[in-house]
Amino acid sequence: MTPIITTRFVNLFYNEFQALKNINMAIMPNTVTALIGPSGCGKSSYLRLFNRMNDLIDGVSITGDIMVDGEMIYSKGIDIVALRRKVGMVFQKPNPFPKTIFENIAYGLRVNGVTDKKRIEEKVEFSLQQAALWEEVKDKLKKSAFELSGGQQQRLCIARALAIEPSIILMDEPASALDPISTAKIEELIYELKRNYTIVIVTHNMQQAGRVSDYTAFFYLGELIEFGDTKEIFTHPKDKKTQNYITGRFG
């Protein structure tokens, strides 16, 4: 199997500060990869490379090769809009638009040129079902998304990302602002989505990484310390730092 994301010797700087150092990693399709590590270790910066979200921050510079789905996404002339259609993202804090539940999902379709009403309606329903939210909201699609609970909002954001049919979904601590029940629902969802999507998830929660992911990458001070099978990492970490972190000795 060929990896869907490959990074080679990737360095990332915020002005003078080096946030990522020589990261080499390959992510396989239809797997869940967890990025773990203490705050400021670079895991979120690494995640945001894949849909070029770092571009929005002033003073960022990047070196190295980043290949997504066979394309060098930092080479000149790349279509960032097309890239972001292929690589969806779910943020730490649920950020639905101040629109109706329906419009929140339709938005992504509309900005990508879908105008057919029927198709949008079908797609909205399908995405909400995929995100396991349909049953809860089918009678109030015209209501504001802000009326939903935090957990429902986050699933709405996942549905919104799914609607434009990405192949990769990036999740930046998607459950860190949610209660345990909502968290469990999100984790279930991740497990379901794995069949059709490649998921890369940043998490602070060790148990979560252990529960949802196939592979785990441990970052520390901008370096990739260890990357491998989640079970391996959690039971037989090769590096002392990994062991200390997953057993809670620092973080």
Partner 1 sequence: MKFSINSVKKKELKQWLAFNVFRALSVLVVCILILILSFITYHGIKVISWEFLTSMPEDGMTKGGIFPAIVGTLCLVTGSMIFAVPIGILSAIYINEYTKASFFKRFVKLMTNNLAGIPSIVFGLFGMTLFVKTLGFGDSILAGSLTLGLLTLPVVIRTTEEALKSVENSFRHGSYALGATKLQTIRKVVLPMAFPNIITGIILSIGRVSGETAPILFTVAAYFLPKLPTGISDQVMALPYHLYVISTSGTNIEESRPMAYGTALVLIGIVLIVNITANALRKYFSKKVKMN
- Binding-site ranges for partner 1 (CB under 8 A): 51, 53, 56, 58, 81-82, 84-85, 88-89, 91, 93, 95-100, 103, 107-108, 110-112, 144, 146, 157, 160-161, 164
- Minimum CB distance to partner 1, residue 154 (Å): 12
- Minimum CB distance to partner 1, residue 45 (Å): 14
d(CA 172, CA 54): 13
Q: Give CA separation, 231 vs 44, 90, 107, in Å.
A: 22, 25, 39
Q: Which is nearer to partner 1, 156 or 246 (CB)?
A: 156
**Residue type (1 letter), 87:** V
Q: Which is nearer to partner 1, 69 or 223 (CB)?
A: 69
Q: Which is nearer to partner 1, 95 or 235 (CB)?
A: 95
Q: Which is nearer to partner 1, 145 or 225 (CB)?
A: 145
Alpha helices in 13-116 (DSSP H): 43-47, 80-86, 101-111
- Minimum CB distance to partner 1, residue 108 (Å): 4
Which residue carries 């930046």 as its tokens? 172
- Minimum CB distance to partner 1, residue 110 (Å): 8
d(CA 182, CA 184): 5
Contact 127, 134 (CB under 8 A): no
